[in-house]
Amino acid sequence: MYAVIVGGGKVGYYLAKDLLARGHEVTIIERDERKCRRIQDDLGSIVLEGECSTDLMEQAGASRADVFIAVTGEDETNLVLSQIAKRFFQIPRTIARVVNPKNRKTFNQLGIDLTVSATEIITTLIEQEMATQEILPLLALGRGRLEIVEIHLPIDSPALKKTVQQLSLPEDSILISIIRGDQIIVPRGDTTFRANDTVLALTAIASAEKLKTFFYP
């Protein structure tokens, strides 16, 4: 796999280092001379210095890249460059860092394949530690229209002792697995729920609240 990364700060540096360690080819585009020197000293001649442009992306071989990753500290820059990578260079996969979580929806609507928000990741981790009767989002899919969620069944869950078939879940929600202790159960129509089960489901974001009513009182 060949990856072009724009942004040679800590995120871009460690991402490139990890990809190289896994045997992938990487080029970093970075405008800051000091960061470029550090990357070159530590990782070798994988960095191009300069303000990212179509010319510099062409020099980086963007037309043969498998994935384009924009991880600068500016949402607008990450969005514009990801769109150029997708539309001009026809790179099949674009990934963008989102500093302000409010911009994530815009990124998805404009065709960015995957967005990563450190703020949302940290918030999710906090929610996982403190959650009681909430559906926890684990992963956004389908450009922000779908998500994989985690549901922990309390002792008073209305789903207890019912089968999957009896719940009549929303049409745009699918159960992926049930984690029961050390067991991973693939749910079938006659599978019953027990207290303290952890359910993983794929659902349309618009149906998440409705899905919640099947599992929480």
Q: Which structure tokens are listed for 68?
A: 């384009």
Of residues 148 and 136, more confidently modeled: 148
Of residues 91 and 116, more confidently modeled: 91
- Checking if the pLDDT of 35 tops 90, the result is yes
Whether domain 131-212 has CATH 3.30.70.1450: yes
Q: Please give the average per-residue pLDDT across 119-146, as a whole number.
A: 67
C-alpha distances out from residue 210 to 11, 101, 168, 190, Å: 37, 24, 12, 22
CA 189 centroid distance within chain: 30
Contact indicator for 62, 4 with CB cutoff of 8 Å: yes
For 11-33, write each residue's pLDDT tens digit.
Answer: 999 999 999 999 999 999 999 99
Q: Above pLDDT 90, what percent of the chain? A: 62
The per-residue pLDDT for 66 is: 96
Q: Please give the average per-residue pLDDT across 115-125, as a whole number.
A: 70
| CATH class name, domain 2-120 | alpha beta
DSSP state of 53: -
Q: What is the pTM (predicted TM-score) of this model? A: 0.62
Q: Please give the average per-residue pLDDT across 129-146, as a whole number.
A: 70
- Regarding beta strands 146-152 and 114-116, do their DSSP bridges make them parallel or antiparallel, or are they unpaired? unpaired
* pLDDT-derived band at 80, boundaries 50, 70, 90: very high
d(CA 13, CA 23) in angstroms, rounded, equals: 16
As a whole number, the mean pLDDT across the chain is 88
Q: Which structure tokens are listed for 7?
A: 């942004």
d(CA 22, CA 176) in angstroms, rounded, equals: 29
Domain ranges of the chain: 2-120, 131-212
d(CA 29, CA 81) in angstroms, rounded, equals: 11
The per-residue pLDDT for 120 is: 67
d(CA 28, CA 77) in angstroms, rounded, equals: 15
Label residue 76 exposed, middle or buried (CB < 10 Å: 0-12, 13-18, 19+).
exposed
Label residue 33 exposed, middle or buried (CB < 10 Å: 0-12, 13-18, 19+).
exposed
H or E segment and range at residue 90: none
The per-residue pLDDT for 170 is: 87
Least confident of 30-34, 115-119, 155-159, 183-187: 115-119
The per-residue pLDDT for 24 is: 95
For 45-78, write each residue's pLDDT tens digit.
Answer: 999 999 999 999 999 999 999 999 999 999 999 9
